[in-house]
Chains A and B, each alone.
Chain A
């Protein structure tokens, strides 16, 4: 029997010990009229060879197009060592490190992760991760409401230039908490969220404000001015950032005069494959003074009975398994395995490697824009951008994007679904994985799709 080790002899001996005639007897407390019908809708079992053939066919079916879609999930090279080590059974098949003495590997790794991600974002403390970037933002909004006790309004400002699906996730996950989400318009020319846009709220009770850097359109925001506006009014700021960009961009801990309060983002660019959208991980860092309001697991250094250093889960009194209905969140898991990969990934790249990746992404996207500019395609916005840009394809973008896909190039994400005013615009990203000939292929395919 697949994955079940029992011999006929074992089964008989075990039933004898229990005092049961058959395995079926063990289910005698389940009322007879509730018993399941035969599961005819599930196929018969496949052996490993059969399932391998099937999955290879499925995987091959989706082809290996040259991908220029970003929009929150980015194609990066992942060193071979990352997932070879992360999928060692000792990491892969361990549970949450509740028994600290038997989980020092995972615990120390998370402590190292917390250190790396705190340094990258310029913040003081980190948790062990959340589900993904979007849900981490929802948790950050809830946290900011807890942190800003002075505010009575429960009003949170969200930029319209924030990833639209992040806005939707925030709405889903905090929808029942009586929090008002106010959308800030972006400048139709620059693509930025100008500080002027905040003027109507200058004297309002605002509970927290979200800043995305880069924003959904890849555009760099004037983060110092935006943070400064909030600082003057004592409004906590939540930064949403791309971790790879932080090799080049000012960390949120340095925005404005004193830095932001909470930083979140999608951890996927740090070693998680695109993998159809997950599993990724959400990171969250903050200031020491807010740590008790932070959701999720946190690892701390500890001493054992012999005075030997090690690591434990700490501040567990915030969490659902202790606090139940009074917990900071219902969250239970972190994304342990993906964080394992990210920690190995960051260790292999180091400052130098991550900087080179970020520079290569910047260079490739800018090079593609230059090549397309020669064909008359222009960026939709005038603002400076990092590794992603909204291009105005003009006319029927949908048909052209599909024609390019059929020719093996995923040209980018059409923006009209979420931004009707950007009809004809496509969000394009060229990371470090793209070569000169990949960029040329993009241009050629674009021309042929005309």
Chain B
């Protein structure tokens, strides 16, 4: 890992230098009216191709990634992203296809998307699948907007509330608000399941629906899901399934069979499309029969004259509408399709089996090494929670400290401080693509940190020590906000040419 100072690309910039191989020939000046023209150059870097390649290659080396480190980030499913998925999704025929190309020149692509919809239907037990949402949060929006459209279409407009368990992802309540609903939070009981009494008390004629993750964010399977579905349906509400944890149950149990009316899947988790440093994702949604008319567009259907086409507004007059200018994150969808075809039906089941085996093994070994599990009496699913409550109280060893010290051991940290209801928690998700040796190495590192905390808390508190940077002062960064580079001296090639705001 490079330890050189972080020079910005702008600081490598030299007036008069450029990567001219990348630019077309000079053309005659345009006839754009003078009052609409740009007066001064924007101030993009002026660098050679080698400068640029070296700069960004060096930057990449400052990242932890699945390809370089074990990355047990709970709730994020950081499994190996097969390289074939990338290279085949980037075949020229796919890359160059314009989103508005006519159906006659899109059959290869449309057939692939249709088959992906069919496979996702099969594995989730839903009636239809839309590939339009561009991320998990947009999938959530789509799902809740469909719930609202369903109630509205029936004239059932008194339903103002979405129920969300306190363990839910932050996107759940934020989504409900965006859809114009109020949020009612219900507690989780001490075993990690939804508190049924609280749920029974919360539902009523004002209930539009409930948003649930199963297995839940505390890493256990919600055993009474059928009762929950019964209570919510009885009250006239619908059930929304947050597919963040679908990896745990793939091929074992299907959201459609559990009674969910609408679900979103994170293809970038369960179906191994890359996380890309924070996107792009894809939040495909599946629906039960009663939500079919409200599905977003476009949507791939079989064409009347054979082949495939996009369903448009005229095909679905009650649709909640369009979510993106075109048809969602097609390149991500292609990667998910390739992944699913490589795994096949047997491989789907292996995903949940081996992610669950790895999580239960890791939980057991960490417990043996002296760590406390938040739900020791439950089976782990594909992830589990370690709580540092005891160590934090005894000697000030917090979940955050463990996370930072793990980086020095060459492991990315588990998710910290989520879910909010477990104090000092580390949410650990090893995924199915990691070997026993990797898990054993991680346990050794964790044990090492625990031992270190008995005699050298300073080293832990000041970790990490081996990375390009130590811990940051985030409060100061938020106060003295610097989100855009402003060079010191004026007149330099790297100076920004901002307008009146500059």
A274 contacts B99, C-beta separation under 8 Å: yes
A448 in the interface, Cβ–Cβ < 8 Å?
no
Q: List 29 A-B contacts (CB under 8 A).
A: A29-B223, A38-B345, A40-B345, A43-B341, A59-B94, A65-B105, A73-B325, A94-B64, A96-B278, A99-B403, A101-B471, A102-B64, A115-B8, A125-B484, A165-B325, A165-B326, A177-B178, A257-B500, A258-B501, A276-B327, A305-B462, A309-B6, A310-B468, A332-B135, A332-B136, A344-B56, A353-B18, A359-B28, A363-B28
- Residue pair A406, B220 in contact (C-beta under 8 Å): no
In whole angstroms, what is the CA distance A263 to B350 when docked?
47
Interface string of B211-252 (1 = CB under 8 A from A): 000000000110101100000000000000000000001011
Asked whether B93 lies within 8 Å of A62 as measured between CB atoms, the reply is yes
Which residues in window 39-55 of B have CB below 8 A to A?
A: 39, 41-47, 49, 52-53, 55
Most buried by B among A275, A331, A432: A275
B484 adjacent to A384 (CB under 8 Å): no
Additional 16 contacts, C-beta under 8 A, given A94-B277, A172-B322: A2-B347, A26-B379, A31-B223, A93-B274, A102-B412, A105-B60, A134-B322, A134-B324, A169-B323, A173-B323, A251-B499, A254-B39, A274-B96, A278-B327, A303-B473, A353-B22
Q: Is A293 an interface position by the 8 A CB rule?
A: no
Contact of A347 with B52 in the complex, beta carbons under 8 Å: yes
Inter-subunit contact A55/B98 (CB<8 Å): no
Neighbouring B residues of A279 by C-beta, 8 Å: 134, 279-280, 329-332
Q: Determine whether the beta carbon of A23 is less than 8 Å from that of B99.
A: no
The reply to whether A314 and B252 form a contact with Cβ atoms under 8 Å apart is: no
Name the contact of A275 in the complex, choosing from B119, B331, B476 (C-beta under 8 A).
B331
Complex Cα gap A24–B82 (Å): 26
Please report whether the interface of chain B is mostly helix, strand, loop or mixed according to DSSP.
Answer: loop
Closest 10 CB pairs of A and B: A89-B67, A277-B326, A45-B344, A337-B276, A59-B93, A277-B99, A61-B108, A172-B321, A176-B180, A254-B499
C-alpha spacing A75/B79, complex, angstroms:
33
Residue of A nearest to B141 (CB): A330
**How far is it, in angstroms, between the C-alpha of A363 and the C-alpha of B29 when the chains are bound?**
9
Q: Smallest distance from the beta carbon of B305 to chain A beta carbons, Å? A: 13
What is the CA–CA distance of A103 and B6 in the complex, to the nearest angstrom? 13
Query: Interface residue tally of chain B, by bracket?
Result: 35 or more
A203 to B240, CA, bound (A): 44
Cβ-neighbour of B341 out of A54, A72, A347, A351 (below 8 A): A54
Q: Which one, A3, A99, A326, contacts B80 given CB within 8 A?
A: A3
Nearest opposing residue in chain B for A327, CB measure: B174
Q: With CB as the reference atom, state the residue of chain A lying closest to B46.
A: A350
Q: Does A300 contact B (CB under 8 A)?
A: yes
What B residues does A312 contact at CB under 8 A?
472, 474, 477
Interface size range on A against B: 35 or more
Q: Once bound together, how far apart are the Cα atoms of A42 and B124, in whole Å?
A: 12
Chain B residues, CB < 8 A from A273:
90, 95-96, 331
The residues in A between 206 and 263 inclusive whose CB is less than 8 angstroms from any CB of B are 220, 222-224, 246-251, 253-254, 257-259
Contact assessment for A59 and B64 in the assembled complex, using a CB-CB cutoff below 8 Å: no
Among A10-18, A145-153, A370-378, A439-447, the stretch that binds chain B is A10-18
Chain A hits for B290, CB < 8 A: none
A35 and B71 alpha carbons, distance in the complex (Å): 30
Please determine whether B84 and A48 come into contact, CB atoms closer than 8 angstroms.
yes
A103 to B413, CA, bound (A): 12
CB distance A354 to B501 under 8 Å?
no
A310 touching B325 in the complex, CB below 8 Å, given contacts A29-B221, A59-B93, A333-B279: no
In-complex Cβ contact of A112 among B10, B41, B352, B472 (8 A): B10
Inter-chain contact B364/A17, CB cutoff 8 Å: yes
A101 touches B404 (CB 8 A): yes
Asked if A175 contacts B279 (CB within 8 A), the reply is: no
Instruction: Enumerate chain B residues within 8 angstroms of A178, measured Cβ to Cβ.
Output: 180
Contacts of A357 in B (CB 8 A): 23-24
Contact B32–A300 (Cβ < 8 Å) = no
CA of A14 to CA of B179 in the docked complex: distance in angstroms?
45
A354 close to B407 (CB less than 8 A): no
Q: Which positions 101-130 of chain A face chain B at CB distance < 8 Å?
A: 101-106, 108-109, 111-112, 114-116, 118-120, 122-126, 128-129
A133 smallest CB distance to B (angstroms) = 6
B52, B61, B418, B482 — which one has the most chain A CB atoms within 10 A of its CB? Answer: B52
Chain A neighbourhood of B468, CB < 8 A:
101, 104, 310
Expressed in whole angstroms, the Cα–Cα distance for A58 and B333 within the complex equals 14
Taken residue by residue from 90 to 109, chain B's Cβ proximity to chain A (1 for < 8 Å, 0 otherwise) reads as 11111111111110111111
